[in-house]
Chain A
Amino acid sequence: MALASQDLMKKIFGLGLFQSSVLWFFIGLGKVAGAVPPILSSQAVSYSNPLPHVLMLTAIVVGIATLSLGFALVIRIQNAAQLCINS
């Protein structure tokens, strides 16, 4: 519902929310019960799956790059709309 909003900023926030929930899903899949984070140490027996961590790490940074591009675009859209309304 946030994605279908007419308020542009709310749309972008909704997009960020959606991206976050996808990341939750993947990282939640990678957890092993009773295990430690995937940093090798001599005391641990089992580790959580490191592959989803790696993929989601870059996904977060790419997500913010695209979201900030969205913010800049929304500012320009509003400017253009304001010019149309004023003239």
Chain B
Amino acid sequence: MMFETELLIFIFISVALIVIAMIRSNNILIITLLSSTFSLFTMVLYLVLDAPDVAMTESSISILAIIFAIYAIKAIYPVTYIFHDPFKPILFILSLVLAAILIYAAQDLPEFGAPKFNQYYLRNSESDTGVISVVAAVLASYRGYDTMLETLVILVGGLSILLISDGQAKVSYDKQDKLVALMSRFMLPIILLFALYIQSHGEISPGGGFQAGSIIAAIFIGLAMACEEYVLISKNKLKVLAVTGVGLYFLVGLTGLIAGVEFLNYNIFFGQAIGIMLVEYVVGMAVASTMILIYLGISDVASKSL
């Protein structure tokens, strides 16, 4: 990459400025705006650091986080969005001390950009699994347990938000804005196509279940914001979808047990490549339905509080 060092320096300086502004600001709306700019710079940083999968996940997921934050802000702050925090010098000194300790400890780290010794995955993933995206192979095959349980964690987070909203999950529809409806009807099917492309190309290019799942959730959230009444899936079906996602992952792993070898060994029934593809689709479905559930839960909690 051409201007790598310059890009990194630019990103670090801008992010330092953004973070200082976020911490010192009193206005929560400005903090939200700066946090979305921060995630934009984070995404560019991940691209510069050769992590396209993580960059895609970061960008699509930060958007969802900002949407949830805005619903929460609308519910909490009655008229004015400004809150005065007294400045405590002891905290500033503590954070400087922590930063100094971390910088001192970072001297021991290996040099930035030195080749690492973790070559096993790179060397063997094509012969073991047959996919060329090493990240997808490690995610779904070498570290399949990890991904299954983390999807379960995401599901539990979504269900506990439903607990907080007392099991209600619906969006309140205001009058439909014609312009938003027109643009969403035009753009969202194209975005859906793109999300399915990302989902299915997870094995040969950056992509996979997490990215595609969050984009599909964003499509539904966009439709809900455009107040299209015919589109919203009922909450019970969403719950079934989300739980089925995790359950199917578990079942795909179970086929290994049935065939007599260990859990999550896909080799016997379908081979690693198809096993990875199945698992990615399942994770995409689980993540999408959980994110939509979270959106419905937060918008319900927010609307009941006004």
List residues of A whose CB falls within 8 A of some B CB: 1-2, 4-10, 12-14, 16-17, 20, 23-24, 27-41, 46-58, 60-62, 64-69, 71-76, 78-79
Chain A residues with CB below 8 A from B298, complex form: 68, 71-72, 75
Residues A10 and B31 in contact, CB atoms below 8 Å apart:
yes
Chain B residues with CB below 8 A from A68, complex form: 64-65, 68, 157, 161, 294, 298
Residues B50 and A36 in contact, CB atoms below 8 Å apart:
yes
Q: Is B222 an interface residue when CB atoms closer than 8 A count as contact?
A: no
- Specify the main secondary structure of chain B where it touches its partner: helix
Q: How far is the CA of A18 from the CA of B125 in the complex (A)?
A: 33
Min C-beta distance of B253 to chain A, whole Å? 16
Set B52, B64, B69: member contacting A13, Cβ < 8 A: B69
List residues of B whose CB falls within 8 A of some A CB: 19, 22-23, 28, 31-32, 35, 38-39, 42, 45-46, 49-54, 57-58, 61-62, 64-65, 68-69, 71-73, 75-76, 83, 85, 88, 91-92, 95, 109-110, 112-116, 118, 121-122, 125-126, 132-135, 138-139, 143, 146-147, 150, 153-154, 157-158, 160-161, 164-165, 204-206, 210, 214, 287, 290, 294, 297-298, 301-302, 305
Chain B residues with CB below 8 A from A29, complex form: 109-110
- Specify the main secondary structure of chain A where it touches its partner: helix
